[in-house]
Chains A and B, each alone.
Chain A
Amino acid sequence: MKKKLCLLASAFYMGAALAAPSGGNSAKSNTGLEALPTSNDFYLYPIQFIFDSAGKIQTVNIVNTSKLNLNAQINLKEYKQDFRNGKLVESMADILATSAVRPGVLITPVVLTNIPGAQKQIVRILATRQESDIELSYRASVKSLTPTSLSKSGTIMEIGYTVPIFVLPKNIREDYQISYVSEKNTAYLKIANTGNVHVAFSKITANNVVLKLDQSRLLAGKWEMVALPTSISKSLATNKKLVVEVTKFKLTDFSNTMIESRIITIN
């Protein structure tokens, strides 16, 4: 009985969840903002793709929520992270047709034309290559194409989405390290992904204070320095203990999180 009720409640929740992003055509949003005339509204799901082997296919649903037909273009880009001005920032490099190494995924179709209003289009992603020890990381950039009839009237505001795509290596190593670093009178938490696959954090707290990360998803081999709030760094002078609680998404099932606690003793 309880199981049936759970399923019923789950179905209800899923229905509500699907209905949540309703696009921008309502007269007034629940945020209290008067809705302006909107640009080509659409959304997509799922919002990330993980392949555990080559040869598999996954689908992206692109939903047109406007009354107008939607045209959109999809570009595959390399998903990278670089350290700039003391911060870990994301960059997306174009994958050119002339590139020496063929990309590890194939997307089709990449040009979507005339998706009718309130309809959805399915796009397929095929993993074509898998490395033995390195995770392949990409982003699919989905942008609406501006109707030419609008382009002469002013500056067009467009909406786009990028979704991460990962092809896991054959030999997966999941590991990350957290350490305390003090530099130039500033206390940091160094979070390093020492594995060969990405780590996606949902939340990291230090002594019960939520930390603001530059990137909540760390690609393989990447690390970031998170400055600790002054309240924590001051308290460390007397209390030499830092309790770090990490909530991270499971690698192949991002609907589930796991919480891990680590205690760092400051010397």
Chain B
Amino acid sequence: MLHMNKNILIKVGGLLLACSIKLAWSEIISQNFNTKLTVDSTCSLEGMPDVVDVVTSLNTEVRIPLSFSIKCNFDDSITLIVDSPQAKTDGYFLVDDKGNLLPYSLVINSVIQTKQKQTVVQPNNAYQVDLVFPGTTMKNVAGKYTGVISFVINY
């Protein structure tokens, strides 16, 4: 009889323990996912290539598709900025081998609004953007351009 009671007690105890574990987990999960940000909150941008070739010719639009993902350990939105290569203050610009500056307006489709250069994105999604270099009637723009294009996560 005592042995049976012990078994029942152990089973009840085990059930209570399982319940308390489940309760503790659900509390932790709800607390952390509701608060979203912690001191260890961070994001990284994945899949961006190191180098792309920007080759353009007169009156021809050049479209460079880029796929990447933004991984974060929280789910609050963040802003993604594409630094204009023409922002000379940062020293970023695209030039050809003759030193000509590429006259272009950066156009990004998909989730990033046209000509906005910055947009609010939801983390943990995959994105595709096109860097578009519109054709131009200006002389001496054809060629291969070097420089830096910077994708910035703005917290």
Q: Does A245 contact B (CB under 8 A)?
A: no
Q: Does A44 touch B at the CB level, under 8 Å?
A: yes
CB distance from A246 to the nearest CB of B (A): 15
Chain B residues within an 8 Å CB radius of A13: 28-29, 32
In the complex, how many angstroms separate the beta carbon of A24 from the nearest chain B beta carbon?
4
Docked Cα-Cα span, A90 to B38, in Å, equals: 24
Complex Cα distance, B39 from A163, in Å, reads 13
**Given the complex, which residues of A lie within 8 Å of B61, measured CB to CB?**
none
Chain B, 9-31, CB within 8 A of any chain A CB: 17, 20-21, 23-25, 27-29
Beta-carbon contact of A158 and B150 below 8 Å: yes
Contact of A255 among B39, B68, B125 (CB under 8 A): B39
We find that the number of chain A residues with CB closer than 8 angstroms to chain B is 65
Whether B45 and A157, one on each chain, are in contact in the complex, defined by CB atoms closer than 8 angstroms, is no
Please, how many angstroms separate the alpha-carbon atoms of A6 and B20 in the complex? 10
With a 10 A CB-CB cut-off, give which of B36, B51, B53, B149 has the most chain A CB atoms.
Answer: B51
**B147 in contact with A156 (CB, 8 Å):** yes
Is B137 an interface residue, CB under 8 A from the partner? no
Interface size class of B (residues with CB under 8 A): 35 or more
Contact A256 B35 (CB under 8 A): yes
Taken together as a complex, chains A and B put the C-alpha atoms of A6 and B24 apart, in Å, by 6
Expressed in whole angstroms, the Cα–Cα distance for A33 and B151 within the complex equals 18
| In contact, A46 and B148 (Cβ under 8 angstroms) | no
User: Measured between C-beta atoms, what is the minimum distance from B17 to chain A in Å?
Assistant: 8
Give the contacting residue for B35; candidates A152, A212, A255; CB below 8 A.
A255
* Min distance, Cβ B63 to any Cβ of chain A, angstroms: 14
The answer to whether B24 touches A47 (Cβ under 8 A) is no
Closest 5 CB pairs of A and B: A20-B73, A21-B44, A31-B126, A24-B46, A45-B42
